[in-house]
Amino acid sequence: MKKDMNARMSLRTIFDQAALDYDEVRPGYPEELIEDVISISDIPKDGRILEIGCGTGQAAIPFARRGYSINSSTHIPVTVSWRKH
C-alpha cells in the first residue's frame, strides 16, 4: 500500500513538472485567433466559457482577460493555481 502511494506521489510530481515545463516553453495563442473565436462564436461580452482539460490556462486566460467568465476542469493539480486568480 505504501509503495502504491509513493508511486502515485512520484507520478504527480512528474505530471506537475511536465505542466510547468509545457507552460514555460509553449507559445501562447495569437491575439488574432482569440478575436476570431469571439467573432465566429458570437459569444456575448458577458458570456461564459467552459473548457475541459484546461491545463495551464493557455487558451482560457486570454478570454478571462477580456472579461469572460471561465469554468474549467483539469485533473492535474498544479495547473489549478492559475484558475484561482
Q: Is the dihedral of CA 37, 41, 47, 52 positive or negative?
A: negative
How far apart are the C-alpha atoms of 71 and 7, rounded to whole Å? Answer: 31
Identify the CA nearest to 51 among candidates 61, 39, 41.
Answer: 61
Triad 72, 23, 83: Cα angle to 5°: 30
CATH of 2-84, one of 3.40.1790.10, 1.10.600.10, 3.10.310.30, 3.40.50.150: 3.40.50.150
Q: What is the pLDDT of residues 3-53, one digit of tens each?
A: 665 656 566 676 667 777 777 777 889 999 999 999 999 999 999 999 887
At position 9, the amino acid (one-letter code) is M
Q: Is the pTM of this model over 0.75?
A: no
- Domain boundaries of the chain, sorted by first residue: 2-84
Q: How far apart are CA 15 and CA 4, in angstroms?
A: 16
